[in-house]
Amino acid sequence: MSRASLSSYASGPSSLPLLGDTIGHNLERTVGRYGDREALVECATGRRWTYAQLDRDVDALARGLLAADVATGDRVGVWAPNCAEWTITQYATAKVGAILVTINPAYRTHELAYALNQSGTRLLVSATSFKTSDYRAMVDEVGGECRRLERVVWIGDDSWDELVRGGESQPAGAVAARMAALSPDDPINIQYTSGTTGYPKGATLSHHNILNNGYFVTEGIGFTEQDRLCIPVPFYHCFGMVMGNLGCSSHGACMVIPGPAFDPEATLSAVAAERCTGLYGVPTMFIAEQNLPDFASYELSSLRTGLMAGSPCPVEVMKRCLTDMNMSEVGIAYGMTETSPVSTQTRADDDIERRTETIGLVHPHVEVKIIDPATGLTVPRGQTGELCTRGYSVMLGYWDDPGKTAESVDQARWMHTGDLAQMGPDGYLTVVGRIKDMVIRGGENVYPREIEEFLHSHPDIADVQVVGVPDEKYGEELCAWVQLRAGASGLDVDAVREFAAGRLAHYKIPRYVLVVDAFPMTVTGKVRKVQMREESLGMLGLSPAPP
């Protein structure tokens, strides 16, 4: 066997070619094939669209955008929880070549102003309010700071109807003429990544990036026009708008919106009522669903498949998806916003171990490699290093920030993920942690993911996250944040150490255990470990590490 065959490099073969469409043309192709099939269901209001009806409303909004003088490449922001208008805006902006700036519904005024200004948004489509957020008041507060913002359109308000009515002045072929002038390589979406330090960066993605990624993600779980996908993950993130919406529309499948934001009861009710065949979620969502006291009462027999992604997927949670939720073909997907997002995915016919212990194989038409972060050289299979990915899915760059782009995408167009991973002899990959999350205890490299997976097997633990905290003797020590299962008795460090004794190396056993009700999270369900480390210092009475 040659040395090359043992390196941690793989490329994804495929019998299916990449799609050469723009998003608008791809939607119209689906409408031509499946116009009478149901395309979109909004459970909260009971509204429904076939693909022909959805395309009609998309075109009406697209004409409104043209009448509002939205040019190719202009930025149109959308700031709202999941709703039908969000989806309609996504496809309408794609048809006119506007770049959709997807804004986190949890943003406050400082973050909103930054996103609008940094992207140069001209027109903003916004909800009027959501939960405790008064979007009107916040937009009014930052309006004077946003130099390029010319117009705000409120969902459910007369201003939305005015925008659509304005399009009645446009010639019948105006949208088609604009679409004919667009290229699949045009930028079509800016998504702000939730950085742990400094301002977020605007990952800029093309039609080609996200249309193909949505298509191949759902190809990987066997989607056809017969499928119905429950999408509780947020649309402002790639999981919702790419893997969800574009994954469905590229196959003629139905998009089901269970609610404006994630709610475990609403999600399972939507699956049951709409006979969904697929369900998406980050691990914390599946944990919340499975921990409902009446979980067993939901009729989930229609489920066949779905994906768990967004953060490391606990093995025990995944196993319950396979058994208790009837998701026999469920998979794990791995990726990041900057790669549209998915780079690897398990296969529907993978065995239990591969589907619960790995992040799968490289995606079709994508390359991956594992490198030594110090040298940049590809490591042998089985060794830990930084996961890098290259291909059609890598972003165009960070919006108006070539310096940050160059820090993440090298001259050979490899995206450096910052994740530590291993590639097995069969090409399956396993993420062992983040480079920045790795804990160095007394000279030993400790990967929190391994310890988290182990502690998930404790009968009293519903969820767990492990971080490093400063220690005078060892440099760093391990601290486990634990959420208990309903009805579980108290859990302390001695009980955890007893459970781990003889099963984990001594240096991998947490020195501290904190029982908490919740972890600090992003809206997309990613745990903020930087914040956890900071809060641990106060909770444990520790001093910050010296510079």
Report the alpha-carbon distance of residue 75 to residue 39 in Å, rounded. 26
Per-residue pLDDT at 196: 40
Spell out the per-residue pLDDT of the chain, length 547, in tens: 344 458 999 999 999 999 999 999 999 999 999 999 999 999 999 999 999 999 999 999 999 999 999 999 999 999 999 999 999 999 999 999 999 999 989 888 888 999 999 999 999 999 999 988 899 999 999 988 998 999 999 999 999 999 999 999 999 999 999 999 999 999 999 999 864 445 789 999 999 999 999 999 999 999 999 999 999 999 999 999 999 999 999 999 999 999 999 999 999 999 999 999 999 998 889 989 999 999 999 999 999 999 998 766 777 888 899 999 999 999 999 999 999 999 999 999 898 888 888 999 999 999 999 999 889 999 999 999 999 999 999 999 999 999 999 999 999 999 999 999 999 999 999 988 778 788 888 777 788 888 998 899 999 999 999 999 998 888 889 999 999 998 887 788 999 999 998 888 888 999 999 999 999 987 556 788 889 999 999 999 998 865 4
Give yes or no for a contact between 245 and 482, defined as CB atoms under 8 angstroms apart: no
Q: SS3 for 503? A: coil
**CA 214 to each of CA 129, 320, 410, 423, 477: distance values in angstroms, whole numbers, following the listed order:** 29, 26, 25, 24, 41
Are the C-beta atoms of residues 146 and 79 closer than 8 Å to each other?
Answer: no
**How far is it, in rounded angstroms, from Cα 539 to Cα 533?**
10
Distance between alpha carbon 240 and the CA centroid of its chain, in Å? Answer: 7
CATH class of 23-423: alpha beta
Amino acid found at 415: M
Predicted local distance difference test score (pLDDT) of residue 504: 84
Could you give the CA distance from residue 142 to residue 134 in angstroms, rounded to a whole number?
13
pLDDT at 107: 86
Q: Quote the radius of gyration of the chain (alpha carbons, Å).
A: 23
Length of the chain in terms of residues written = 547
> What does DSSP say about strands 151-154 and 366-371: parallel, antiparallel, or unpaired?
unpaired
**Distances 81 to 1, 237, 245, 324 between C-alpha atoms, Å:** 53, 11, 15, 29
Dihedral sign computed on CA atoms, order 298, 299, 301, 306? negative
Tell me which H or E stretch contains 133. strand 133-134
Which bin fits 369, alpha (ψ -120 to 50), beta or left (φ > 0)?
Answer: beta
Q: Please say whether the structural domain 437-540 has been given the CATH code 3.40.50.12280.
A: no
Cα(426)–Cα(121) distance, integer angstroms: 46
Residue 360 makes CB contacts below 8 A (sequence gap 6+) with: 331, 332, 333, 334, 344, 345, 346, 347, 350, 354, 428, 429
pLDDT at 3: 44
Query: Quick count: other Cβ atoms within 10 Å of Cβ 445?
Result: 13
Q: Where are the domains of the chain?
A: 23-423, 437-540
Q: What is the pTM of this model?
A: 0.86
Distance in angstroms (rounded) separating the CA atoms of residues 448 and 478: 8
Neighbours of 219 (CB within 10 A): 18
542 burial via Cβ count (<10 Å: 0-12, 13-18, 19+): middle
DSSP output for 425-482:
TTS-EEEEEETTT-EEETTEEE-HHHHHHHHTTSTTEEEEEEEEEEETTTEEEEEEEE
Rounded CA gap, 76 and 398, in Å? 17
With 0-12 CB in 10 A as exposed, 13-18 as middle and 19+ as buried, what is 138? buried
